[in-house]
Structure 1
Amino acid sequence: MGERNDPMDTALKTQDNKRHLTIYFAVYTLVFAVLFFLCFGIHLIANDKSLLNYVDSFNMHYNSYIEAGRLFRAFFKNGLQMWEPNIGYGADIFNSIGGYFTDPLYLITLWIPEKFSEPVFNSIVVFRLYLTGISFSVLALKRGHQYYAAFCGAIVYTFSSCAYIGLNQSSFIVPLYILPLLVLGADELYEKKKPTLYVILLAYFAVASFYFVYMFAIMLVCYCLLKWILTNRNERTVKDLIKKICSFFIYSVWSALIAAFSLLPSVFVMRSMGRLGVRRYVPALYDFTYYKNFYQGYITSYNMLERDGMIGTSVVVFLSLIV
């Protein structure tokens, strides 16, 4: 006969796990606050600066945030507004700021006066960076890693150079905290055939950051293909691969249909953008300097071709290697 689970023992283990999780996230919050202050806060305070730069951060993200707040407040007075005369010579709202209007973090503008928009916007940017570590922690702990390992990974992930660009391009942080959860959802669909988390996160991602969703779709295909190649070699069959491909395709289509109210306007806008028709020369190999500067990323950061492509490893990793 198998061993019976003692309900009291199970309850005690659950309480113990909750206590450990509470301590874990409290420590992460404290360390995040200290590191953010040391990495960015001192510079911002000493030079009387904010996280807004004049180009995309102010002209696009900040103004869209303010407009989203106005639309949220107007929704409860006048209903859903589809056309905004104050955008240029007048524009469709979802075509112009759909991703901002559907961002749940911007709902805070319902209760915050517009005169406090700048500090609140900066706080949202910092909170998004904070969420990247939370998201990574959830993935690591769900996979059975120890608290210390998950904590180190979360700090490295959050303060890597890839996240720095998100301080100026606030929407670029969204993929960083969605990716770990999306991978977790893909794992559940792949291993347990549970699609709920995958469908919800992919739909949210398509709404919140259409700009990146196709890139992540390619990454997920590669991830699942490698997972199929490297695991369960004895049970691996072409029939099984076809089933998994069909499963991911069907649930991805479901996600796209859920997000269609925001996704389709974004697609139409991108198709009309002039930059899509611009031809660029992309060499098979870049200049030697491009590859040489990759080493710079091990101890600091490197902006590839000055195209907002930040690479680099957190200094925490460098110190850990020494220890």
Structure 2
Amino acid sequence: MSEGKVLIIAEAGVNHNGSLDMALRLVDAAAEAGADAVKFQTFRASRLVRRDTPKARYQVENMGGEGTQLDMLRALEMDEAMHGAVVDRCAQRGIRFLSSPFDEESADWLVERFGMERVKIPSGEITNGPFLLHLARRGYPVILSTGMSTLGEVEEALAVLAYAYVQGEEPPSREAFLRAFCSQRGQDALGKRVVLLHCTSEYPAPPEQVNLKAMEALRVAFGLPVGFSDHTEGVDVPLAAVALGACVLEKHFTLDKTLPGPDHKASLDPGELQSLVRGVRRVERALGGARKRFSPEEEQNRSLVRRSLVVNRGIRRGEPLEGVLGVKRPGTGRSPMEYWAACSEVAERDYDADDFL
């Protein structure tokens, strides 16, 4: 991640609907919008859910109630050939490839086969201790999404990562994780490898449930870089997140919001994604630094819109200035902040009305 530049992740997720052609078109759309990365999901449905796991409420609303979550996810898996084609298209289009793994084997495969530099951990895996332990033992830098979580759950997840990053010698346990988390070595390891994403895991997420200020709570609590994984409709909430200091922004997008599938409805279309990227870059430029000072462009206006001390009527040399002073533009004369001192002075020369003092 570049200093001062938000990493914009265009979340294709499963919006390819199992189609390679659609996946490649999603890569193209993300690249044309100017996103930094396009992210998919890597999983084997049989490793992820039990046979009888029901669909989530939003999945039922978007796809109907027929079938189980397992049935739905099997149709959305990406096989090895599909991954390879997508990675090749990313390289051709100059956009970073990312994918969220949902198991240890998938994570290792993405890193070793495709050289993925950072692993995005979905919100649903934040309590998957064995998975977190595996990722950190391999030394993988991670982006950890915190949807549906309390601060305590985030801390426990970070504690597992800290323990594994420092290669703790004592057997894994909650007590060992906590000791690693509280150690300087553990904190240093987390600081080098972990970004936290605030997230509201609802699709679409109502703005009143987003609680963007929780980003600052995460930053203060853990001293780590923070970002935002957005599930609201439109681009205004993610732009606000950037203004509040998000260093990573993740947003679902699709080729067509009316397509069948669990996430299309809560996604941006390509035009909206392009607007979001442009908006983020504008907000970045507008944020600047924390120092209050006037800009070079403002300097030329200072003398025109500020005022100076003038005399309101003609007076002669030696007359008192009290009662005859006014303030008018431009600001090229004595500052009006000297008004009270000037009132005790006498005219040093003859003045006509409106003359600078």
Please identify the structure whose Cα radius of gyration is greater: 2
Both proteins in one fold, TM over 0.5: no
Name the structure with the higher helix share: 1
**Shorter-chain TM-score range:** under 0.3
The two structures have a TM-score, normalised by structure 1, of 0.23
